[in-house]
Structure 1
């Protein structure tokens, strides 16, 4: 898998690093939306699960990854602006599908509520509209450590909460990445988390009511932070939605173990590219070639 790399200008305001994995036989394109503090590298396994059945687009937010060198970082981006950036990328790549992970679901819901004409289906993974007690504790501790720029505590917080089911090797990579972020990235995450804590717990449901395409909500059975029961509240607000639970896995789904990776891929492809229903055999009456003598 070798991507076509481009840094795109978004309305003269932001420069966004993108990777486009083109599959010659693919008929559809899917764009993947990162969670907080994540980059294109976080979607390595998910991209492999989708390619070559789809063309796959990855990108970094203007403040993160390989985009941040191309942007000024004067003030944090709102989720509404991140949703607008996603809409621009959907049009640029003519994407029919979108898949988000974790807090990337907030910007994705905002974008889908605008009813982008190209989008046919969407997947919202590891996201819940409910800030439950586990998530609130995680966010409140996150605000405290991010505000103090305490890299050690931020790195350990992620691994000991939402990342607690990750393999040890992934935890080491996670810690190294999160504890090595730039100051403006900590400011961005502090801003976003503070907004979430101040908003109505069910604020994301209002955006969901305007979505008119099929949506799959995908959550891990062991995820206490974006829990299955919270995600199912979307069933009362999204007109056409499905739910899938990945057994014996937490927040990071396909990164946690091989069975979860296989189950995640099966759920994604089953929703985005379902097998055609088998046709019933048709029986036709065959005229006899024999004459009966009476």
Structure 2
């Protein structure tokens, strides 16, 4: 699976490293959105079943992974900024589908609330609209060790909480990646943690009712941090929401074992390959009056 790699200039003159996996004869393109502390490399298992069906776009946010060398002194980037970056990449690659994992769901839902014309469907993995008690505890611990730049504790924390059901190999990879980040990346993650802790107060999810495309929420049966029960609360917010619970797995879904990989694959393929429902002709509320609506900006390729 060879990728066409490019650096794209986006919001606030930041640079994003992208990988475009072309599928011959296919016109539909899906863009994947990472969770925090992750890079595009974390989508290896997902790419295996998506790439034979779609053109696939992977990217790293300006502060992470392969984008980091192109942004030596990046500003702290909030979820609203990430939503703008995603909207610009959707336009740049002419993507018509989007799929997010974990905290990548915040930026994805904020972007979708602006009703990008190209997008027909979206998959939201391991995300819920509430901060339950286990997630609040996790965020409080993460805030402490990130503020202290305690690299080893950050790695251990992830593996014993949201990563508790990962196989040993992936736990070792997680720890090695998370415990060797640069200071700025910890500062960025601390900024995200503090944003997430104020999720309810800021009422990010009020924007979900403005999303006009079908959404598929996928959560693991054993995930106590973004539980299937909490995710289903999106049903009262999103006009076109479907829900799948993957058995015998936690937060990291298809990375945890082979059966989960097959279940996620079956759910995603069944949803994305179904004929998308047409978007509503009339909006229930004008986009300009919606909360968290973000300005749209054009992009240009770099190099």
TM-score, with length taken from structure 2:
0.89
Cα separation, partners in 2 of 1:174 and 1:80, compared to 1, 3 Å:
same
Tell me if structure 1 keeps the 8 A contact 2:131–2:200. no
Supply the distance in 2 between the matched residues of 1:209 and 1:12 (Cα, whole angstroms): 28
Supply the distance in 1 between the matched residues of 2:79 and 2:230 (Cα, whole angstroms): 20
Supply the distance in 1 between the matched residues of 2:201 and 2:11 (Cα, whole angstroms): 32
Question: Displacement of 1:12 after TM fit?
Answer: 5.9
Supply the distance in 1 between the matched residues of 2:26 and 2:201 (Cα, whole angstroms): 39
1:32 aligns with 2:10: no
Instruction: State how many pairs are aligned.
Output: 276
Supply the distance in 1 between the matched residues of 2:226 and 2:178 (Cα, whole angstroms): 20
> Which deviates more from structure 2 when the two are superposed, residues 11-20 or residues 197-206?
197-206
Question: Displacement of 1:116 after TM fit?
Answer: 0.2
Supply the distance in 2 between the matched residues of 1:53 and 1:114 (Cα, whole angstroms): 27
1:265 aligns with 2:260: no
> Which deviates more from structure 2 when the two are superposed, residues 222-231 or residues 11-20?
11-20
**1:98-132 deviation line (CA, Å, top 9, x unaligned):** 00000000000110001000000001100011110
Q: Which runs of 4+ in 1 moved over 4 A?
A: none
1:272-291 counterparts in 2 under 5 A?
Answer: 272-274=272-274
* Aligned-partner SS, 1:45: helix
1:152 aligns with 2:148: no
* Aligned-partner SS, 1:19: strand
Supply the distance in 2 between the matched residues of 1:66 and 1:184 (Cα, whole angstroms): 15
Report the counterpart of residue 170 of structure 1 in structure 2: 170
Supply the distance in 1 between the matched residues of 2:26 and 2:14 (Cα, whole angstroms): 30
Report the counterpart of residue 223 of structure 1 in structure 2: 223
Gapped regions of structure 2 (runs ≥ 5): 277-303
Question: Displacement of 1:207 after TM fit?
Answer: 1.4
Gapped regions of structure 1 (runs ≥ 5): 277-294
Question: Displacement of 1:52 after TM fit?
Answer: 1.1
Report the counterpart of residue 140 of structure 1 in structure 2: 140
Supply the distance in 2 between the matched residues of 1:121 and 1:198 (Cα, whole angstroms): 28
Supply the distance in 1 between the matched residues of 2:124 and 2:11 (Cα, whole angstroms): 26
Question: Displacement of 1:11 after TM fit?
Answer: 4.5
Supply the distance in 1 between the matched residues of 2:84 and 2:67 (Cα, whole angstroms): 16
Supply the distance in 1 between the matched residues of 2:200 and 2:274 (Cα, whole angstroms): 36
1:1-294 counterparts in 2 under 5 A?
Answer: 1-11=1-11, 13-200=13-200, 203-274=203-274
Supply the distance in 2 between the matched residues of 1:184 and 1:13 (Cα, whole angstroms): 18
Question: Displacement of 1:175 after TM fit?
Answer: 0.2
Pairwise CA RMSD: 1.4
* Aligned-partner SS, 1:117: coil
Supply the distance in 2 between the matched residues of 1:257 and 1:103 (Cα, whole angstroms): 21
Question: Displacement of 1:178 after TM fit?
Answer: 0.4
Tell me if structure 2 keeps the 8 A contact 1:80–1:107. yes
Supply the distance in 1 between the matched residues of 2:245 and 2:202 (Cα, whole angstroms): 21
Supply the distance in 1 between the matched residues of 2:112 and 2:170 (Cα, whole angstroms): 31
Which of the pair has more CA radius of gyration? 1
Tell me if structure 2 keeps the 8 A contact 1:29–1:97. yes
* Aligned-partner SS, 2:195: helix
TM-score, with length taken from structure 1:
0.91
Tell me if structure 2 keeps the 8 A contact 1:25–1:52. no
Q: Which structure has the higher relative contact order (CA within 8 Å, separation 6+)?
A: 2
Question: Displacement of 1:263 after TM fit?
Answer: 0.5
Report the counterpart of residue 291 of structure 2 in structure 1: none
